[in-house]
Structure 1
């Protein structure tokens, strides 16, 4: 292995660790102050780096937000996929995946912060990005039926919209939300 190749690998690993540290610092601020009121200077200070360093990793606040949401969507999608994998019935699997997503976001302060007053619109916008939809759609719809990628993507987009809706406008209680998911969402997501 050449030194150049080895150095590039270490550089990539360090860059990933630095970006992760910045995102972790941002997460704490999102909980303390809210997402929309957390500025780049605040994040740099909390991460212990200069603003110039912060901007090397994230060109602007939108890029920081996008990176944070994508990272958390991957983490959430992996947890959901593992949890619902043993559920054989497709209707039950999709129902549990959607409801677990809602519970996980509500119970995780760094995720719940995105659905507070003033921040839900930003969360809705970022939730519609392809990476979030792909990760969560895979968690819900993977292996349920054979369909083309366009159809699966369309259904994944709809499932993410339903989750965001439940997070921004909750049902009366858990029973009400389960009934809505079973009655209105699952029949649309699963093939007839």
Structure 2
């Protein structure tokens, strides 16, 4: 380990290097089994250096989760812009996020059966993830209930990551029938009328 580990990688770049190393350790050892010593060794620095940027293991995991959540959100929101209907945008944004997480090994590791519940709890408490959902839902019309709708959307995504549907078509149907109307209906009591879905989903 050299004394000039941070040369050319000060500040944010050094933190990024540590987070990149953390991702490799999460994939190899499991998200909730990885410790700071493993991550420091993978990054080629000391534990003291890791603690210079991240207060503890929880802070490091949270920072990694927030970085990847922003990356996923940027990609899926860009792709969903191709849909004009808000219900379709929401449905395809959620499905896109699920697809990226499931197809990216290090992200899928967060929701493996052995630690999925702990990851879901961490994500559900995240103000960053909630704000990403709020930004999407409130892009056109924030509304006074935006915080509640954003928290619900976070929990919908987490529930599908920890307890997936049969396939993407099954998840799409559930989102359009049960989630879209609740997030876009002016009056939640109007979501289901006579056993059918209200027109809030654009159909």
TM-score by length of 1: 0.87
User: Match for residue 181 of structure 1?
Assistant: 175
Range that drifts further, 79-88 or 25-34 = 79-88
Q: Answer with 1 or 2: which has the greater Rg.
A: 2
Deviation at 1:146, TM superposition (A): 4.1
- 5 Å-filtered alignment, 1:36-47, equals 36-47=32-43
| Matches of 1:146 and 1:74, distance apart in 2 | 20
| Matches of 1:57 and 1:146, distance apart in 2 | 35
Does 1:157 pair with 2:151?
Answer: yes
User: Match for residue 17 of structure 2?
Assistant: 21
- 5 Å-filtered alignment, 1:1-192, equals 14-128=10-124, 129-139=126-136, 141-148=137-144, 151-192=145-186
Structure 2, unpaired ranges of 5+: 1-6, 187-203
Structure 1, unpaired ranges of 5+: 1-10
Q: Which runs of 4+ in 1 moved over 3 A?
A: none
| Matches of 1:153 and 1:74, distance apart in 2 | 18
In the comparison of the two structures, how many residue pairs are matched?
A: 178
Higher share in helix:
1
| Matches of 1:110 and 1:183, distance apart in 2 | 31
TM-score by length of 2: 0.83
